[in-house]
A and B are shown apart, each in its own frame.
Chain A
Amino acid sequence: NAGVMQNPRHLVRRRGQEARLRCSPMKGHSHVYWYRQLPEEGLKFMVYLQKENIIDESGMPKERFSAEFPKEGPSILRIQQVVRGDSAAYFCASSPVTGSNQPQHFGDGTRLSIL
């Protein structure tokens, strides 16, 4: 009964490169959320997706960041032309189909380092 799986666990990129972070939700979960955490800080919401739809992207930077959750395969958070300020831990969470009083289940995150 696998939990939320994120890969890679660690990702190093040089400034200007692209970063692709993957998230496979728990089995039976169709809601995916992405959060970013800076050192010694809480998590900040980025985007909420259901299969093939972006529901809430109010936390996404307007440029360089995009997210998708295709019908088949994992959710992808894509950061183009990375800058030093993108260095952070990125967490994915998932929840089941219905009910607003459902907890979100988190993966172990991807630690992104920009050289």
Chain B
Amino acid sequence: SQQGEEDPQALSIQEGENATMNCSYKTSINNLQWYRQNSGRGLVHLILIRSNEREKHSGRLRVTLDTSKKSSSLLITASRAADTASYFCATRALGGSEKLVFGKGTKLTVNP
């Protein structure tokens, strides 16, 4: 199974602190994507990193990818209360269909 796993399952921090979430997966991938989901809403795409990339930045987000360890991390710097949400990594298998395989997510709470 390609099913990924995020850790930690839940993370609670204070506003202004950094939040780091990790994701592991099992098979060779074409790309890895991070999504955010607010309660009761759909998923919002945050960042896509290709298998030949090692690091990518977007605003306060920094994503790393280590294909040798089959792992990725998402760092949110200077967190805000509005960052409170669940964060999911999703992988697209190499040579497979366009489907995404999601982990179970990390529930982030940023306390004001």
CB < 8 Å neighbour of B98 from A41, A56, A108:
A56
Q: Is A31 at the interface (CB under 8 A from chain B)? A: yes
Instruction: Indicate whether B30 reaches chain A with its CB closer than 8 angstroms.
Output: yes
B78 within 8 A of A: no
A101 touches B31 (CB 8 A): yes
**Once the chains are docked, how many angstroms separate the CA of A59 from the CA of B35?**
21
Selected from B31, B33, B97, B105, the residue in CB contact (under 8 A) with A55 is B97
B78 to chain A, nearest CB (A): 24
Give chain B's interface residue range (CB within 8 Å of chain A): 20 to 34
Query: Separation in Å of the A48 CB from the closest CB of chain B?
Result: 6
Can you name the residue of chain B whose Cβ is closest to the Cβ of A95?
A: B98
The reply to whether B102 and A56 form a contact with Cβ atoms under 8 Å apart is: no
Which of B11-19, B44-52, B69-77 lies at the interface? B44-52
Which residues of A sit under 8 angstroms from B105, Cβ to Cβ? 41-42
**Chain B residues within 8 Å of A101, by CB:** 30-31, 48, 50
Q: Are B30 and A108 within 8 A (Cβ)?
A: no
Contacts of A106 in B (CB 8 A): 35, 42-45
Indicate which residue in B41, B90, B98 contacts A31 across the interface (CB closer than 8 Å).
Answer: B98
- Residue contacts A-B, CB under 8 angstroms, 26 given: A4-B42, A33-B98, A33-B99, A33-B100, A35-B102, A40-B104, A41-B104, A41-B105, A42-B88, A42-B102, A42-B104, A48-B97, A48-B98, A56-B97, A58-B97, A58-B99, A100-B30, A100-B31, A100-B92, A100-B98, A104-B100, A105-B45, A106-B42, A106-B45, A107-B42, A108-B42
10 A-B pairs closest in CB distance: A42-B102, A106-B42, A56-B97, A103-B45, A106-B43, A45-B99, A108-B42, A43-B102, A42-B104, A107-B42
Contacts A100-B31, A109-B42 supplied; 20 other A-B pairs, CB < 8 Å: A4-B42, A6-B42, A33-B100, A35-B102, A40-B104, A42-B102, A42-B103, A44-B102, A48-B99, A55-B97, A56-B98, A56-B99, A91-B42, A100-B92, A101-B50, A105-B45, A106-B35, A106-B42, A106-B43, A106-B44
